[in-house]
Structure 1
Amino acid sequence: MKAIASVPNRVVSAIRRSFRQFLALPLATVIGFVGLSALVYLADGSWSGDRAPHGFAWLGALMGDRAALGSLLATVASSIVTVTSITFSLLLLAVQQGAGALTAQVTDQFMARRTNQLYFGYFVGLSVFVLTTLVTNTDYHRPVFAAALSLLLTALALCLIIVMIYNTIDQMRPEQIIQFIHDKVLEARGTDLDVLAATRRTTRRDWADRALVRSRESGYVVGLDLARVETALERHGDVEVEVLIALGTYRAVGDPVFRLRCGPGVVLDAEAQERIAEETLAAFAYDDGRDLQTSTAYGLHQLATIAWTSVSTSKSNPNPGLTVIQALRDIIAQWSRGEIEIRGDDGARIVYGDAAPVIATDALEAVIVVASESIQSQTLTEAVATLAILLRHVEAPTAGRLADVAHRALSSLGEHVLTRQLEAALHDLASALEERGFGSVAEEVARASAALAGSLGKLNSRSTRVPGTTS
C-alpha cells in the first residue's frame, strides 16, 4: 500500500520531469509570444483614431483598413492552425514509424531535443499571437504593426516547416538516436557525481547492521535528499545508512531500499529506528517514470534495449547494434578512470555505490548474448573487438569486469560460424587478456576459438556446430 504522505512528492516529481523533458521551452516560447503581443498592442495604440505614426503611413496604406486587416488576420490564423495540425500529425507519424523500427525509446529522445521543443512552442505561440491580434482588431484599435509582424512570422513558420521535416527525418536515423542518447548519458553522469561526492563508497568495517528498511511505495527512485538524511542521522550518534539501490531503480512495495548500521556500543531502540527509517524514506523521491537527462541508468537501459531489439531476430538489423556497441565503448572508456579517481566524503553517514560503470559493461554483455540468438557474426566481432580495445587501456576495476564478460561470452560462441573477422577478433582478445594479466581467461578464449575452428569445412546444424566432448 502506498504511503499517503508520498503522493504530493510523486506529483511534484512528475511535474518536474515533464518540464525537464519537454514542457519548459515550449511554454516559455508561448509566454514570449504573449509578451510580444502585449508590447505590439501598445505600439499599435499610435494608430488609434485613424492617425498614422510618423514615417509609417505607407504601412497603414499597405495593410488596409479594419475590414482588410480582419480578413487578413482571419486567413492567417486559420491557415497557421491548419498547417500546424497537419505538420505535427505527420511528424508524430514519422516518430511512430521510427519507434516501430527500433523501440519506444525513440519518443523520449524526440521530446528531449531542444529544436523540437522550440518548433512546437513557436507554432503554438504564433497561433496565439495571430488570434490575439485578430481579437484586438476594432474600430478604435488598428493592429497594423501586429498584422505586419504576423505576416512575417507566418512566412518564417512556413520556411521552418521544411527545416522541421528534415530534422525529424534525420533524427529518426538509428545513428542519430543512439548518438543523442549517448550524449545524454554522459551529461547525466554529472548527477551521479554530485551524489558520489557527498557520500562514501564502503561501509565501516567495525559497524554492525541494525535494520533493513523496505520500500513502502512503488515506483522509480529518482532522487535522494542527502541533507535530510544526514540531519536525521546526526541526532543519534554513530549511525550510517547504506543505500542498497542506485537512483533510477524501480522499487516495489516491500523491496529493500537501505540498511541502518551502527557503530560499536551504539544502541537504537525500536522507536529510534522507526524515526530514522521514516525520515530517510521520506528523503527518497519516487516517480512513475524516469528522465533521460538525469538518469544514466535509464540512458544505458535505452541503449541496451535498442541493441537487443535490432540485433535479435525480431528485427535482424545489425546496424543499430553496431552503433550501440561503439557508443558503449566510448562511455565505458570515459568512465573507467573515474572508478579509481572519484572520491567521496569520508565523514558522510551515507554509503552509496557507483552503479553506472557496472550497468554499462552489463549492457555490452547483453549485446553479446543477443548476437548468439540471431547469429550475427559482425555484431559479435565488433563486441569482441571492443573488449580487446578497452582491456588495453581501462583501469583495473573495469578491466576485471570486461574479462569476466569475455569469459561468460564463450558460452554462446558455439552458435556462430568462425568467420575470418571473428577469428582475428578472438585472437586479439586473447592477446589483450594475456597482457592485462588474465591468463586463464585468455587460454579459455584460445581453446574456444580452436574448438570452433574445428567445425570449419564440416556440415553441421546450429545445435551441433561445435560437438561436445565425450568421456
Structure 2
Amino acid sequence: MRPNRFIERLRRSFSDFLTIPLVVVVGFLLLAFAAHAIDGNAGPRDDWGPAWRLLDRYVGDVDSANDLLKTLAGSLITVTSITFSILLLAVQQGASSLTSQVFDQYLQRRSNQAYFGFFVGASLYTVLTLVLTNSAHRPVLGTTVAIIVLALSLCALVTLIYTTVDQTRATSIIQSICSASLATREKQAKWLERTVEPPVEAMIATSVESRVNGFLRRIDMDALCRLTHDNPSLHIFVRPSLGDYLPFRGELACFWGGGRPASIEDTIRKALVIEEQRDLGCDAAYGVNQLAIIGWTSTSTAKSNPSAAKAACHALFELLWQWAMTDRLVPKRDSKSRIFYRDTVASDLFDGFESLIVAASESMQHQTLSTTLNSLVQAFPKLSAEHKARAESAFLLSLDGLGDHLPTELLTSSYQDVVAILSVDGRADGASRVEEAWRKFAATKGILHSRGNRE
C-alpha cells in the first residue's frame, strides 16, 4: 500500500506542478551547454565578426567574466530564494483566510509554474556557465546571455509579484474556482450520460472494497463501460460520489451478474481512483464545496467579511444559473445503462446556499442573507420542480434564524420577492408562511429587543 501511495504522490506532484518547471530548467541547462559549445568553436579572434568583437570588448576577459558571473549567480539565487519564500507565505496567508484551494490553484497555474522554472533555470544557467569557464575559454556568448537572462528575471520578478497579489484577491480566487467548476461540469456531463440513477430497491450484489483510504478523485468511465460491454449481464453500482471519503476497506462499489468476480473487482478498483486529495479538474462538487466554505468563513464571525461572502454567493448563483439554463444541473442519463451512479452536485449547490443562510444568522450579516435570497429568487423560474422545492425549503429555513437579524429595508425587499415568486409558482403554503413570519418580524421594528427575545 505504501509504494502505491508514493507513486500516486509522485505522479500527482508532476501533474500538478513539477512538469513545466523541470522542462524550463532543462531548457536553461541545454542553453548553457549550447552557449559553451558556440564559444568554444568561435575560432581565432582574428576571424570574429564585428558583433562578436563588440561583445568580446565588454565580456571577453575571462577574469572579468568570472567576477561578473559570480555576482549574477549570487544575486539570482538570493533574489529567487527570498522572493519565493515571501510570495509563498503571502499565498499561504490567503489560503488560511479563505480556503486551501488558493494554494493549490496558485501552484497549478501554468504561468506560475513557468515563473518558478524560469528563476531556478536562470540561476542554474549562470552557475553552470561559471563552472564551464576557464582560462582557455572566453565565455563571450555565455556571459552575454547571462546578462540578458538577469534583465528578463528582474522584469519577470515585477510581473510575478503583481500576479501573485492579484491571484490572492478574494474575487480572483472565487472567480477562478467558479470558472474551473463550470469547465469540470462540462466534462462530467459527458460521462454522466453513460450512467443511470441507482435503483431504489436493494440488490443482492458482490461488494468491492477499497484498499486505501481517501477521496474518490476520478472515475475511468471508459474502463467501466468496456467491462459492462464484455459482460452483458453485469451491473455496477458506484457507491460513493466523486469527492466522497472512503475509509480503508470501505465499500467502493458493488456489482451483480457477469462472470469471473475476481477480475471484475480488480477492474472496478482500478477504474475508481482513491487518493488523498480531491481534484477540481475532475470533481465539480469540490468547487461548489470550496465556494461554500469561503462563503461560510467570510460570513461567520470568524472573518466577518461581507464583500467576500457576497462574492462567494454570486459565484454559487452563477453556477446555479448556468447549469439550470442547460442540462448541467441534472445531466441527461441513459436509462439502458448498467452503470449506476448518484450525482450530488445539485444537492451540494443548494447545501451551499443553506450554509450561507445559517452563517448569516450567526453573524447578523443581513446583506449576505439578502444576496442569498435574491440569488435563489432569480434562479427559481429556471429550476425543475424538484429543485424549486429545495429552494422553497431554503426560504423556509431562513425563517428559523430571522430573529437574529433586524428588519432592514434590504431584507424587506428580499422577502417580498420571495413571497411573490412562491405565489406565482402556486406554492401558496410556503408563500403564506414566509409572509406571516415577515409580518410578525417587521412588527418588532422600533421596539427594544435583543437577539435572545426577538420573535
TM-score of the aligned structures, taking structure 2 as reference length? 0.91
1:359 to 322, 343, 348: 348
The answer for the alignment partner of 2:432 in structure 1 is: 443
Q: How many residue pairs align between the two structures?
A: 453
> Structure 2 CA distance, aligned partners of 1:328 and 1:464?
33
Quick one: distance in 1 between partners of 2:49 and 2:134?
22
5+ unaligned residues in a row in structure 1: which ranges?
A: 263-267, 467-471
Q: Please give the alpha-carbon distance, in whole angstroms, between the structure 1 residues aligned to 2:221 and 2:46.
A: 64
Q: Which residue in the other structure is 1:200 paired with? A: 195
Question: Are 1:424 and 2:426 an aligned pair?
Answer: no
Q: Does the CA contact (< 8 Å) of 1:209 and 1:259 recur in 2?
A: no
Counterpart in the other structure of 1:469: none
SS in 1 for 2:215: strand
Structure scoring higher RCO (CA < 8 A, sep ≥ 6) equals: 1
Q: Which secondary structure state, in structure 2, belongs to the residue aligned with residue 405 of structure 1?
A: helix
Aligned equivalent of 1:144: 140
Question: CA 1:257–1:431 in 2, change beyond 3 Å: closer, same or farther?
Answer: farther
Structure 2 counterparts to residues 125-140 of structure 1, below 5 A: 125-140=121-136
| 1:27 has 2:30 as partner | no
**Contact 1:213/1:259 (<8 A) preserved:** yes
Residue from 380, 392, 415 that aligns with 1:391: 380
Select which of 281, 292, 316 maps to 1:293.
281
Q: Distance in 2 between matches of 1:168 and 1:227?
A: 38
Shift of 1:78: 0.6
4+ runs deviating over 6 angstroms: 204-207
Q: 1:99 to 1:133 in 2, by over 3 A?
A: same
Cα deviation, residue 428, structure 1: 0.4
1:263-282 matches, cutoff 5 A: 273=261, 275-282=263-270
**1:179 aligned partner, one-letter code:** Q
Q: Distance in 2 between matches of 1:172 and 1:182?
A: 15
- Relative to structure 1, is the Cα distance of residues 435 and 348 closer, same or farther in structure 2, using a 3 angstrom cutoff? same
Aligned to 1:256: 251
Q: Please, which moves more after superposition, 167-176 or 401-410?
A: 401-410
| C-alpha contact (below 8 Å) 1:47/1:142 kept by paired residues | no
| CA shift in 2, pair 1:272/1:87, >3 Å | same
The amino acid across from 2:79 in the alignment is V
Aligned with 1:463: secondary structure? coil
Q: Please report how far the alpha carbon of residue 73 of structure 1 lies from its aligned counterpart in structure 2 after TM superposition.
A: 0.8
User: What is residue 319 of structure 2 aligned with on the other side?
Assistant: 331
2:75 to 55, 79, 84: 79
Please name the residue that 1:89 is paired with.
Answer: 85
- In structure 2, the CA distance between the partners of 1:248 and 1:19, relative to structure 1 (3 Å rule), is farther
Query: Identical aligned pairs, as a percentage?
Result: 34
Q: In 2, distance between residues paired with 1:301 and 1:401?
A: 18
8 Å CA contact retained: 1:391, 1:436: no
1:15-414 map, 5 Å: 15-48=10-43, 50=45, 53-55=48-50, 56-197=52-193, 199-203=194-198, 208-234=203-229, 236-262=231-257, 273=261, 275-336=263-324, 337-339=326-328, 342-414=331-403
Contact persistence 1:233–1:276 (CA under 8 A): no
Query: 8 Å contact 2:186–2:328 — kept in the other structure?
Result: no
User: What corresponds to 1:265 in structure 2?
Assistant: none
> Contact 2:216–2:246 at 8 Å: present in 1 too?
yes
- CA-CA distance at 1:425 after TM superposition: 0.3
Is the contact between residue 198 and residue 342 of structure 2 (CA under 8 Å) also seen in structure 1?
no
- TM-score, L = length of structure 1: 0.88
Does the Cα contact within 8 Å between 2:218 and 2:282 map onto a contact in 1?
no
Deviations 1:391-422 (A, max 9, x none): 13344443332222222232222221121110
Unaligned segments of structure 2, at least 5 residues: none
Q: Render the CA deviation track for 1:287-313: whole Å, top value 9, x for unaligned.
A: 111223332122222211111112111
